Structure 1
């Protein structure tokens, strides 16, 4: 039974990573447009941003897999799964607003909701699995930084 649980946790990890990565396929970055925006000097390079998100998606996915190994989809973990879905939707919406709609204000507001739901997700995870919660801290911190950056870019281009 333990082997089956581990295999399913690996599937949860892969599925979560794939879903979080989906925005890059559905709403690709318009590099020419993005590069034309006024941005603060402290804006990370596109390559660094992509690398950070790749690592963060792995942390989020590992957090989900750890929660799954303890609770499956049982009632005790329901708040975690619900908040993860809400956070996921906000996360995906950012790329839609930023790169498809080119709406910097909507993207900045959405980024704030990503950060708030990442914070909530970390607090919920803390009650379930301490390591899962710790894995979400970099995501939460980066999301707040991304929110500040998004509002700064909006202000510089408004």
Structure 2
């Protein structure tokens, strides 16, 4: 497999672009609405989130690149791409639902669906390329934590 730097850059840029859109959706509420919410004691400080998400977006971008490089050998490549794109859309949607619309209960339901699709995506990627699947582990862990955090914010508010 020959390294394709442009494909890697584009793959990472796509995920970081999703992150930037999510950041846009959260920017105002992080300053106004989010601080007045009751949050659990384990709520991380706000500065943690951009670093965590940037790292995760880079890792899933690399995972997508690894899968893309094997696309000619994947029988159901369009399905694989669809699963990947669905989890990206759900990822972005959560930011809009929670921070832009302020719908904590709906965000909780949505993040559970997101976690399920991430697990499916990780499994599909793992079957294609072991490292691509393993690169989803931090994403799975972070969204699991985010789900628990969202649940607690929902209960407290």
Stretches of structure 1 lacking an aligned partner (at least 5 in a row): none
CA offsets per residue over residues 109-137 of structure 1, 9 Å max, x none?
Answer: 11111111111111011110111111001
Find the residue that maps to 1:46 and give its secondary structure. coil
Q: CA deviation at 1:58?
A: 0.7
Q: CA deviation at 1:80?
A: 2.4
Q: CA deviation at 1:75?
A: 4.1
When the two chains are superposed, the root-mean-square deviation of aligned CA atoms in Å is: 2.1
Q: Contact 1:79–1:124 at 8 Å: present in 2 too?
A: no
Greater RCO (CA < 8 Å, at least 6 residues apart): 2
Find the residue that maps to 1:28 and give its secondary structure. helix
Stretches of structure 2 lacking an aligned partner (at least 5 in a row): none
| Correspondence 1:1-150 to 2 at 5 A | 2=2, 5-30=4-29, 31-71=31-71, 75-150=75-150
Q: Contact 1:67–1:77 at 8 Å: present in 2 too?
A: no
Q: Aligned partners of 1:68, 1:9: CA distance in 2, in Å?
A: 9
**How many pairs does the alignment contain?**
156
CA offsets per residue over residues 85-113 of structure 1, 9 Å max, x none?
Answer: 11111111111111111111011111111
